[in-house]
Amino acid sequence: MKDITVFLTEQLEQSNITEGKVTSEKDFREFATKMCKEAHGDDFDEDKCKEAIDGFLKDHKDLVDKGEWAELVGTWEQGFTK
């Protein structure tokens, strides 16, 4: 089993959108979806992923409004370490 840090680093390297390149909601959704697909593999459910991303962005509306995409990415990644 991979260490979560190794897993997340690999995901960032494989994704077309990296943490430093997330500059919009569209970028964030692509990044978050990629992480969900990789984390859940064959159990990936696109509807559940979209629902999770929608809820996350709603819960962090203040950061979305400020354009704090790096902070949002970091917070999203932390959800995968629990």
Please write the tens of the pLDDT for every residue from 18-64.
555 899 999 999 999 999 998 899 999 999 999 999 999 999 999 99
Give a yes or no: residue 47 inside a domain: yes
Cα distances (angstroms) measured from residue 60 to each of 56, 74, 75: 6, 12, 10
- At residue 82, does pLDDT exceed 90? no
Is the pLDDT confidence value at 14 over 60?
no
For residue 49, give the amino acid letter: C
Is 7 domain-assigned?
no
Report the run of H or E that residue 14 belongs to, with start and end: helix 4-14
Which residues lie below 8 Å from residue 26, measured CB to CB, with a gap of 6+? none
pLDDT value for 72: 95
Chain centroid offset of residue 14 CA: 13
Is 1 a member of any domain?
no
Domain that holds residue 43: 23-78
Dihedrals φ, ψ of 14, to 5°? -85, -25
- What's the structural domain count of the chain? 1
| Residue 44 is assigned to a structural domain of this protein | yes
Tell me what pLDDT residue 5 has.
60
Question: What would the mean pLDDT of 3-9 be, rounded to a whole number?
Answer: 61
